[in-house]
């Protein structure tokens, strides 16, 4: 099964000085090795934004090119807005990108790999599945 990997997981794996024993990073490495990782443009943009060195930017851009983007459809934006409204009605806030991730994951029947606790709240009101790190 393919898995949509959130920005926070990528950031954790790309961080300097990270622990080699980090189970989140190991799980991402396993997903990459098994060719199960999925990417969307907004996550790619978040990962590439704020990189100061043009050399580092180019290196990461090339590395991320190994993961083609899932095409985002009009229905994904509409469903993301629906998800935003549903969660807001229940007192839960989130970013537009978070709800777009949820909408695409639902359309593509994929779990979301994230360490962002907001998704645990979203799951109470949205039909999303979260990727669980194998033990």
pLDDT reading at 64 higher than 80: yes
Structure confidence at residue 117 (pLDDT): 97
Q: pLDDT, tens digit, for every residue of 81-130?
A: 999 999 999 999 999 999 999 999 999 999 999 999 999 999 999 999 99
CATH classification at residue 126: 3.40.50.1010
Q: How many domains does the chain have?
A: 1
pLDDT reading at 16 higher than 80: no
Q: pLDDT, tens digit, for every residue of 21-35?
A: 899 999 999 999 999
Task: Yes or no: say if 39 and 70 are a contact pair by the CB < 8 Å rule.
Answer: yes
Q: pLDDT, tens digit, for every residue of 28-54?
A: 999 999 999 999 999 999 999 989 899
Closest CA to 71 of 118, 103, 99: 103
pLDDT reading at 134 higher than 90: no
Average pLDDT, the chain: 96
Q: Exposed, middle or buried, 113 (CB in 10 Å: 0-12/13-18/19+)?
A: buried
Structure confidence at residue 78 (pLDDT): 98
Q: Which domain, by its residues, includes 31?
A: 1-135
């Amino acid at each position: 099964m393919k898995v949509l990997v959130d920005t926070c997981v990528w950031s954790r794996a790309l961080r300097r000085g990270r622990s080699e024993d980090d189970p989140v990073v190991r799980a991402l490495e396993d997903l990459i090795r098994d060719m199960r990782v999925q990417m969307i443009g907004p996550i790619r943009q978040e990962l590439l934004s704020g990189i100061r060195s043009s050399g580092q930017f180019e290196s990461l851009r090339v590395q991320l090119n190994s993961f083609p983007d899932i095409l985002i459809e009009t229905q994904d934006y509409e469903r993301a807005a629906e998800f935003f409204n549903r969660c807001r009605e229940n007192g839960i806030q989130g970013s537009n990108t978070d709800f777009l991730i949820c909408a695409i994951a639902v359309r593509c029947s994929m779990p979301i790999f994230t360490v962002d606790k907001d998704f645990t709240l979203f799951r109470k009101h949205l039909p999303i599945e979260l990727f669980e790190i194998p033990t």
